[in-house]
Amino acid sequence: MTAARRCFPSLCFLLLATLPVTHAAGADGTSGRPPNVLVILADDMGYSDAGCYGGEIATPNIDALAEGGIRFTQFYNTGRCWPSRAALLSGYYAQQVNRDPPGARPKWAVLVPDLLRRTGYRTYHSGKWHVDGPVLAGGFDRSYELVDPDRDFGPKEHRLDDRPLPPPRPEERYYGTTAIAEHALGWLDEHEAGHAEKPFFLYLAFMAPHFPLMAPEADIARYRGRYDEGWDAIRGRRLKRQRELGIYGGELSRRDPRSVPGWNLKEDELRARIGPGEVGRALAWDELTPEQKAFQSAKMAIHAAMVDRMDREIGRVVERLRKSGKLDTTLILFASDNGASAEQIIRGDGHDRSASPGSARSFLCLGPGWSTAANTPFRLHKSWNHEGGIATPLIVHWPAGIRDRGEIRHAPGHFIDIVPTILALAGVAAPDEWGGERRPPLPGRSLVPAFTKDAPIGREFLFFKHAGNRALRLGDWKIVAAGPGSPWELYDLSRDRAETTDLAAREPSRVAELSAIWSRADAEYDRQGTTGKPLQKPARGEPAKGASR
């Protein structure tokens, strides 16, 4: 038996993880009805930004969900916006449904709201979409879509039930995070008024804290000066807190001043268009000039304000569930679509150097220095398949169905596990076909067994691929490569989740075995993604190759 095969979980765990859950098992404990489901997704939020994952940002509402539920420490997204959303909503790797690179899903690649709606659920969406096709065609009954990602204080494009809305007027004092929450609250009120007898699925997809860094001045003021000590000190503080919380017990990854997204503006252009305080690489804080330190501190204050405001809006939604008596019977999942971003580009209306940082006329990005801190303790950033790009917090809160409070789960999981979990609790079997076309088996596993104890979730491997980056995790072993043609690196994540010591040269046979698994999965997933008729043409505004959302 090879070393890689010895890492496979036992058959009993595999069977437990894949057993269907009936309505009774997934019921709210009183009515025999499957739970309501609220999926909350942050955009470009770092692994350690929330207080309950080691951060200093005030996130009392997210922290309360963790205290009343469970936290996963080894959960994964895909490292980028649109493939993560494809995996989260379809239950498949993005490559299996032709969404990375972004294209039209096959007809069989139905999304989870469509499966739930046909069993009695009402389905609602508010916020970012970034999936091919109109929102309502994805199985939602109601939708508010914020299409414009670059103008938090006044989008040029947003839609209600797929129909264009006029741009907000200045007197409306529009702010994207608040508007997304307001529409979610509206859907909950509508549900209570007209469909209270039915369970609901609400997908609350914030754009915060994705660039541009924009936040209300009063929110920014709460953090002004807080980050004067710099990203190296903040990383150390977050690591210490993570160890105290039991989130992570390993070492801190090395800050990498070389690695930035290939589409970033060059440093001289950044200085010319943003100003002399901008920094293009994750240098040591002590290497920065006083002007750079002041400017970088101000940027992180805006990022923190965006996370803070998102937390407050989450609190309003949770409070509405509490007042309606639905909080205990609602399964709440909170995660981020990828790690914090090292991107530094300028879009939208450009950047006005005379504007106050964080205001509507500014366009700033977090950048690699603070992204490294936000992703503490891990290595690299959004779009990479190293841990800093693909690790996400996952909080699961469901008082009627989870007895444990404030506990931690170290079992690895992935966005592909969300759909099997929801279907299991709803008592719904994943269909073998859709639209007259056969569907591949779902690659994910239900997380329901982990609701009661921290046990392995049986699976063969976890697969990653994006923009030339690639990785595979099997048990505690991970191979990963940064960029097309780059050699495989090998890490033992049980000892080195910070990916500091590459073992590839010491264990070439293990690298060869894991890379063979990755290659077979890659070929099969690409084949599946082009099997069957396209569902529809890709949505307008799909990102061009190398672009970002």
Helix (H, G, I), strand (E, B) or coil at 457: coil
**Cα separation values, 503 from 7, 53, 407, 488, 508, Å:** 17, 28, 32, 10, 8
**Would the pLDDT of 548 be above 90?**
no
Query: Which residue shows structure tokens 């800050």?
Result: 255
Q: What is the pLDDT of residue 27?
A: 46
**Would the pLDDT of 22 be above 70?**
no
Q: What is the pLDDT of residue 26?
A: 43
What are the tens digits of pLDDT across the range 29-86?
A: 445 789 999 999 999 999 999 999 999 999 999 999 999 999 999 999 999 999 999 9
Structure tokens at 24: 């009774």
Count the neighbouring beta carbons within 10 Å of the beta carbon of residue 363. Answer: 22
Domains annotated on the chain, with CATH: 34-430 (3.40.720.10)
What are the tens digits of pLDDT across the range 171-208?
A: 999 999 999 999 999 999 999 999 999 999 999 999 99
- DSSP assignment string, 207-248: -TTPSS----HHHHHTTTTTTTT-HHHHHHHHHHHHHHHTS-
Is 191 an annotated catalytic residue? no
In eight-state DSSP terms, residue 431 is P
CA dist 395 and 42 (Å) reads 12
State in Å, rounded, how far the first CA of the chain is from the last one: 44
What are the tens digits of pLDDT across the range 378-405?
A: 999 999 999 999 999 999 999 999 999 9
Query: Which residue shows structure tokens 């929102």?
Result: 135
- DSSP assignment string, 250-266: SPPPPP-SS---TTSPP
What average pLDDT score do residues 136-158 get? 97
Count the neighbouring beta carbons within 10 Å of the beta carbon of residue 513. Answer: 18
Residue 536's pLDDT band (cuts 50, 70, 90): low
| Active-site entry in 52, 125, 130, 351 | 130
More confident residue, 27 or 360: 360
**Would the pLDDT of 120 be above 50?**
yes
- Pair 462, 472: CB distance under 8 Å: yes
Structure tokens at 222: 């709460």
The answer, as to whether pTM is greater than 0.85, is: yes
Give all strands (DSSP E) within 291-382, no chain letters: 330-336
Please provide the average confidence, as pLDDT, over all residues in the chain. Answer: 92
What average pLDDT score do residues 345-358 get? 97
CA dist 152 and 279 (Å) reads 24
Q: What is the pLDDT of residue 357?
A: 98
Q: How far is CA 414 from the centre of its chain?
A: 10
Strand partners, 335: 41, 394
**Would the pLDDT of 539 be above 90?**
no
Is 81 an annotated catalytic residue? yes
What are the tens digits of pLDDT across the range 426-439?
A: 999 999 999 899 99
**Would the pLDDT of 25 be above 70?**
no
**Would the pLDDT of 537 be above 70?**
no
Residue 5's identity, in one-letter code, is: R
Structure tokens at 74: 């080894």
What average pLDDT score do residues 449-478 get? 96
**Would the pLDDT of 12 be above 60?**
no
**Would the pLDDT of 21 be above 50?**
no
Q: What is the pLDDT of residue 7?
A: 36
Q: What is the pLDDT of residue 440?
A: 97
